Structure formats: C-alpha cells, structure tokens
C-alpha cells in the first residue's frame, strides 16, 4: 500500500503522461534497479529531457552518476533503511568492504538479496563493487542535479548512520527480507 501511494503521489506531483511514468517505473522495478541516464532516456523519446529528469528524480536516486530505484518503491521498514544505507555507502565509494556491513546485523541471504541488483561480490577483495561505473557523461551534462543529489546523500547519510547505530544499540535481531517486499 505504501509503495502504491508513493507512486501515485509521484505521478500526481509531476503531472506526467501515464505511459511515460509506467514505462520508467516498470523498468526500474522489474528490469534493472541501476541505470545510466542515457539508457533510461531511450525508453521514451516523446518527453523533453527536463520532464523526463523530473520524473526520474521522483522514482530514483542518483548514486555516482547512475540512477538507482528508490528503496521506498521496493521495500519498507528495516529493509528500506538498510538498502538506503547501502546506497549511501555506494554514494561515497564504488566499493564496500564486507566488514563494514557486519554492523548491519543482517542475515547473509537477506544481504545478498539487497546487494545482487546493486553490486557484485568480489570474494578475492572481500567486498562488494557497485554494478555500474560512474556516469561522468551525466555528471558533466547536469552538474546541478549531481550536486543536489550529493548534498541530499550527505544529509540523508547522517540520518541513516544514526538509524544503524540505534539499531545496533538495541541489539535488533538479524533482518530477514519479507516475501512481500521482494514481490
């Protein structure tokens, strides 16, 4: 229900064509959670780039240049916060060491479910690497959007770190992803 309300709210606020909204949201949720702007732009060439970008900002976060489906569209509760924390870490570095993830107190299979659409595991280096490289083309073409999202990650990062610290302090049990959040 929360996801449906968010999607409807996003659509109403942006006053976009239903077909464009459906195409982009479906792609982000069902095909690929991490995408370069130019790849997404080719899903619908009927709207202006500005309209397209405004819609995209309602559905995805900018992480190192590529766009990533917002966690709130896929998960809720702990899963949403943990995925956002993972995205925050990727906004700082394309690689996350596994020891950094131990603080999350999350079941290994649940962690893999969160990471698999976003990154690939590098066992030799004992880390996870973001699935896409930085999108320097987008960053160069839209520096104001990049800066806005970098600032948003800095603000959101503090909240996410506080949430993780509080979660650890409360000794919350291991998170297992609910089946409803994966469907």
β-bridge partners, 130: 119
Residue 21 contacts residue 13 (beta carbons within 8 Å): no
Q: What is the pLDDT of residues 85-130, one digit of tens each?
A: 999 999 999 999 999 988 888 888 989 999 999 999 999 999 999 9
Extract long-range pairs of 18-24: CB within 8 Å, 24+ residues apart: 19/44, 20/44, 20/46, 20/47, 20/51, 20/52, 20/55, 21/55, 24/52, 24/55, 24/56, 24/59
Spell out the residues 6+ positions from residue 49 whose beta carbon is closer than 8 angstroms to its own. 41
Q: What confidence tens digit (pLDDT) does each residue in 10-35 have?
A: 554 455 577 777 888 888 888 899 99
pTM reported for the whole predicted model:
0.84
The pLDDT value recorded for residue 2 is 45
Contact, 69 vs 29, CB < 8 A?
yes
């Amino acid at each position: 229900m929360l996801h449906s309300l968010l999607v409807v709210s996003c659509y109403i606020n942006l006053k976009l064509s239903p077909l464009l909204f459906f195409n982009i949201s479906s792609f982000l949720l069902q095909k690929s959670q991490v995408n370069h702007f130019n790849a997404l732009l080719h899903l619908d060439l009927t709207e202006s780039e500005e309209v397209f970008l405004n819609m995209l900002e309602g559905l995805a976060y900018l992480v190192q240049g590529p766009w990533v489906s917002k966690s709130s569209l896929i998960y809720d509760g702990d899963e949403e916060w943990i995925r956002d924390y993972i995205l925050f870490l990727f906004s700082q570095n394309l690689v996350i060491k596994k020891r950094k993830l131990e603080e999350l107190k999350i079941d290994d299979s649940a962690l893999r479910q969160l990471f698999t659409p976003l990154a690939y595991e590098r066992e030799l280096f004992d880390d996870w690497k973001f699935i896409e490289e930085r999108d320097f083309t987008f960053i160069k073409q839209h520096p104001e959007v990049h800066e806005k999202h970098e600032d948003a990650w800095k603000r959101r990062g503090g909240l996410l770190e506080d949430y993780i610290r509080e979660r650890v302090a409360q000794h919350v049990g291991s998170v297992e992803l609910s089946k409803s959040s994966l469907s």
